[in-house]
Amino acid sequence: MRILVIEDNTDIAANLGDYLEDRGHAVDFAADGVTGLHLAVVNEFDAIVLDLNLPGMDGLEVCRKLRAEARKQTPVLMLTARDTLDNKLGGFDAGADDYLVKPFALQEVEVRLNVLARRGKAAKPRVLNVDDLEYNLDTLEVRRQGKLLQLNPTALKILQALMEASPAVVTRQELETKVWGEELPDSDSLRVHIHGLRAAVDKPFGKPLIQTRHGIGYRVANPDG
């Protein structure tokens, strides 16, 4: 596993790091909440060990921002000396997946992280990404630059086919078959739906991702590369 440890106590962080690395895991560290949140957002980790009492930004706020603003679902194990029920409920409410009170056994930390990582992989949402365009296949939500786009069911099918193939070109015939099956529409239907898709996905954002290959088909790709 690749694990991020956000802990300002150097002794605890060192003990965790030594134990987990000896067990074959890769460990990154942050000693404050701001740095920890940055690392958690820009990197992909299998699990995060998060202390509550952190300088700069406490663990609860780190977890809230990770879930609500960055929309990252990396499993989080909170480590803390706060052992009341209210403390635990607050941690779970902020988005933590598990909660372990100090002092703790290193072996138990690893066992809990393994469970969280397996659970996280099983629950990982199916998301397609091309440049700044994101399509969550589980929620059927399409976002560009974080803005939620409104697309009809046919447009969603076309977009999925194009994003799954990106950056390759999908022929008109392939698109029509994927969207309508054997009951193909009239010859203008695909063109009309592509026009509507461009109006929603490209027009408000300046940079066109939906591209036409005349006489062949369409693709979704970054025009700059």
Based on the fold, state whether residues 204 and 108 are members of the same structural domain: no
Say what the pLDDT of residue 42 is. Answer: 87
- Tens digit of each residue's pLDDT (9 = 90 or more) over 106-156: 999 999 999 998 876 655 567 889 999 999 887 889 999 989 999 999 999
How far apart are alpha carbons 91 and 61 in whole angstroms?
A: 10
Say what the pLDDT of residue 225 is. Answer: 62
Range of the domain at 140: 127-220
Based on the fold, state whether residues 12 and 104 are members of the same structural domain: yes
Based on the fold, state whether residues 160 and 185 are members of the same structural domain: yes
Based on the fold, state whether residues 55 and 69 are members of the same structural domain: yes
Say what the pLDDT of residue 124 is. Answer: 59
**Are the beta carbons of 142 and 133 closer than 8 angstroms?**
yes
Based on the fold, state whether residues 115 and 163 are members of the same structural domain: no
How far apart are alpha carbons 34 and 97 in whole angstroms?
A: 20
Based on the fold, state whether residues 6 and 107 are members of the same structural domain: yes
How far apart are alpha carbons 41 and 55 in whole angstroms?
A: 18
Q: Please count the structural domains in the chain.
A: 2
Based on the fold, state whether residues 117 and 159 are members of the same structural domain: no
Say what the pLDDT of residue 186 is. Answer: 73
Based on the fold, state whether residues 142 and 187 are members of the same structural domain: yes
Task: Provide the token pair at 218.
Answer: 């369409």
Task: Provide the token pair at 119.
Answer: 């659970």
Please state at what angle helix 189-201 crosses helix 153-165, rounded to 10 degrees: 80
**Are the beta carbons of 210 and 223 closer than 8 angstroms?**
no
Based on the fold, state whether residues 54 and 83 are members of the same structural domain: yes
Based on the fold, state whether residues 116 and 156 are members of the same structural domain: no
Domain boundary among the residues 122, 145, 176 is at 122
**Are the beta carbons of 49 and 16 closer than 8 angstroms?**
yes
CA angle 219, 224, 225 (to 5 degrees): 70
Say what the pLDDT of residue 120 is. Answer: 66
Residue 45 falls inside a structural domain:
yes
How far apart are alpha carbons 142 and 129 in whole angstroms?
A: 10
Say what the pLDDT of residue 110 is. Answer: 95
Which residue stretches of the chain have pLDDT < 50?
Answer: none
Say what the pLDDT of residue 32 is. Answer: 96
Based on the fold, state whether residues 20 and 33 are members of the same structural domain: yes
Residue 109 falls inside a structural domain:
yes
Q: What is the CATH number of the domain that holds 68?
A: 3.40.50.2300
How far apart are alpha carbons 68 and 57 in whole angstroms?
A: 15
This model's pTM is above 0.95 = no
Say what the pLDDT of residue 185 is. Answer: 72
